[in-house]
Structure 1
Amino acid sequence: MTDTYPREIDIGHLRSWIGREETATDTVSIDLVHKFNAMLDLSSAIPAAGDVAPLLINYCLAQPVVRNSLLGHDGHPQKGGFLPPVPLPRRMWAGSSLTFYGDFRVGDAVTRISRIADVAVKDGRSGVLCFVTVEHRSVVDGRLVVEERQDIVYREAAAIEGGARAANPATPAPAGSHGRPVQVDPTLLFRYSALTFNGHRIHYDQPYAVHVEHYQGLVVHGPLQATLLLNYARELRGSVPKHFIFRGLSPLFDHDRISLNAQEADGRLKLWTAREGGPVALSAEAVWG
């Protein structure tokens, strides 16, 4: 990669956002946990105060609330504000690294402190990319519960057309020592978007996803895939890992036959999602201890 980029990208201006912080608060409510559990078929029981909340429910907490008139055409908030105004039209969640220090519980009042840690522009195979790294710390009563380093990538419009199935498909994902099919449909994508207050239209507006952003269908959220893999890792090992890292590599769509996969590797658990006959979509690693 090189450091070349279009003249309209003022990297000095964008990097002036480094160090900016934002604080938001939310509550792990009975209603939210009940709906989250129902969405993932984890439980139909109404939770009680003090119950352990489901994994990665933090992606439903303290999300940005923006008036409808201030959203862009894609459903994301207009650029500027906490995140730098990157002049590239497509924004995606590239991946995250999380460390768990404890559990969220029903009734917890959560404070999330977010900080812009880095802004970098790179010239990749699919065109110019701008990476914005955000650090999140979720705290309950002064106790750190989850720490996350999140990478957001901005792309040129042409680059996203890689969402269409390429003429020369990538190498199919390997079979893990553990595997399970998972049902993903438009209803699940819509409900996850609603619970996370994610307005990005690629997840629920099929004509927009196909005809504007040139995907093959509705796009399965990266954090949703990560949540399914993290629950699978806990099921296989019997406990929640200390660290969980995930990275998006290729898109999955609502009509795909999707599987969760896992493989032991030097005391760690490698995990990935894939469609039938397709490449790795989201890769992850779970580490205990």
Structure 2
Amino acid sequence: MQNAVQKPHRQSDLLDPDRANAFLVSLDVAHEIGQGDPLPPFFHQLYFWQAYPPAHLGRDGHRKVGGIIPDMGLPRRMWAGGRLEFLIPMRAGKMATKTTTISEKAHKKGRTGPLGFVTLCHEFTQDGRVAVREFQDLVYRQDANRNAPVQVAAQAPCDEDTCVNRNFDSTLLFRYSALTFNGHRIHYDQDYTRDVEGYQGLVVHGPLLAQLLMLMAKEKLGQLKQFSFRATSPLMHFEKAAFCWRNDGMCWVRGPDGRQCMIAEAA
């Protein structure tokens, strides 16, 4: 990949504890966050909204490319994975700043056609100190080819030490989209998802799957210092998923047919 030089994008936000508590309620987690309390890992996704008028949006509900994210010439976007370093806790009720730069970008040839890769680096600071450093991997693809052969998904491991089954529905997907100000139509518009993107149902957000794995990892480890994840197969809103933990720090999401939807590592 080639390194890209790009002017950093900065924005500040007040980390309102009410938003974090609304997310906990949506996840059916019995915990309340108060003023000054540490936020759970990855809850910074609930903040730093970027709102754009309709004319600035693409067909998928995301902002049109061409700003900090270059136009890769490919219409379909997916959050493919990421790597996070948790340096100090981010605390609710206090101001924080997010600084975003492009770390890498590249075009590649995949099994299903051309692919565009963009890696964003986000640094979250509070009280003048870097609290979280995150690398977000985005992939861009061409439109779905209905005549292309079906790709066989990799099978997930079955040697976990802990497994928690979870159901998803359109209400949870709507709430997560609203709390993260994510306008991507694959998470709430079934006609668009089916007819344009070629999925069988609403797609469960990749970062929502990662969030649930991070909460599981934090429960097991007590404190989370690093976490990396990679989305490998989409999960539909009508599918039950198994969230799996192995005591060496590996964790994953297994679909109802045994396919691997996400693989991750925590430390």
Q: Considering the TM-score relative to the shorter chain, is it more than 0.5? A: yes
Specify the code of the residue in structure 2 equivalent to 1:100. F
Asked if 1:68 corresponds to 2:54, the answer is yes
Change (3 A) 1:73 1:143: same
Question: In the alignment, which residue of structure 1 is the partner of 2:179?
Answer: 195
SS in 2 for 1:189: helix
Question: In the alignment, which residue of structure 1 is the partner of 2:226?
Answer: 243
Q: 1:261–1:271: 8 Å Cα contact kept in structure 2?
A: yes
Question: In the alignment, which residue of structure 1 is the partner of 2:250?
Answer: 270
SS in 2 for 1:264: coil
Instruction: Decide which moves more: 254-263 or 31-40.
Output: 31-40
Q: Distance in 2 between matches of 1:281 and 1:42?
A: 23
Question: In the alignment, which residue of structure 1 is the partner of 2:11?
Answer: 24
Superposition pairs of residues 88-167 of structure 1, within 5 angstroms = 88-158=74-144
Question: In the alignment, which residue of structure 2 is the partner of 1:255?
Answer: 238
Q: Distance in 1 between matches of 2:236 and 2:114?
A: 24
Q: 2:232–2:261: 8 Å Cα contact kept in structure 1?
A: yes
Q: Distance in 1 between matches of 2:116 and 2:88?
A: 33
Q: Distance in 2 between matches of 1:116 and 1:174?
A: 33
Specify the code of the residue in structure 2 equivalent to 1:283. I
1:100-120 Cα offsets, whole Å, 9 max, x none, are 012121112110010111111
Q: Distance in 2 between matches of 1:221 and 1:172?
A: 20
Q: 1:280 aligns with which of 248, 252, 260?
A: 260
Specify the code of the residue in structure 2 equivalent to 1:249. T
Specify the code of the residue in structure 2 equivalent to 1:218. L
Q: Distance in 2 between matches of 1:121 and 1:212?
A: 23
- 1:170 Cα shift? 3.1
Asked if 1:179 corresponds to 2:167, the answer is no
CA RMSD of aligned residues (A): 2.1
Q: Distance in 2 between matches of 1:240 and 1:66?
A: 36
1:17-37 Cα offsets, whole Å, 9 max, x none, are 533310011111022122111
Asked if 1:211 corresponds to 2:191, the answer is no
SS in 2 for 1:235: helix
Q: Distance in 1 between matches of 2:73 and 2:234?
A: 23
Q: 2:81–2:137: 8 Å Cα contact kept in structure 1?
A: yes
Q: 2:86–2:224: 8 Å Cα contact kept in structure 1?
A: yes
Q: How many residues align?
A: 266
Q: What's the % identity of the aligned pairs?
A: 40
Q: 1:17–1:83: 8 Å Cα contact kept in structure 2?
A: no
Unmatched segments (≥5 aa) in structure 1 = 4-14
Change (3 A) 1:18 1:92: farther
Q: 1:88–1:155: 8 Å Cα contact kept in structure 2?
A: yes
Question: In the alignment, which residue of structure 2 is the partner of 1:12?
Answer: none
- 1:52 Cα shift? 1.9
Q: 1:173–1:277: 8 Å Cα contact kept in structure 2?
A: no
Instruction: Decide which moves more: 215-224 or 68-77.
Output: 68-77
Question: In the alignment, which residue of structure 2 is the partner of 1:229?
Answer: 213
- 1:275 Cα shift? 1.1
Q: Distance in 2 between matches of 1:152 and 1:167?
A: 22
Question: In the alignment, which residue of structure 2 is the partner of 1:10?
Answer: none
TM, length-normalised to structure 1 = 0.86
- 1:64 Cα shift? 2.1
Superposition pairs of residues 17-56 of structure 1, within 5 angstroms = 18-43=5-30, 45=32, 47-56=33-42
TM, length-normalised to structure 2 = 0.93
Q: Distance in 2 between matches of 1:63 and 1:278?
A: 35
Change (3 A) 1:158 1:120: same
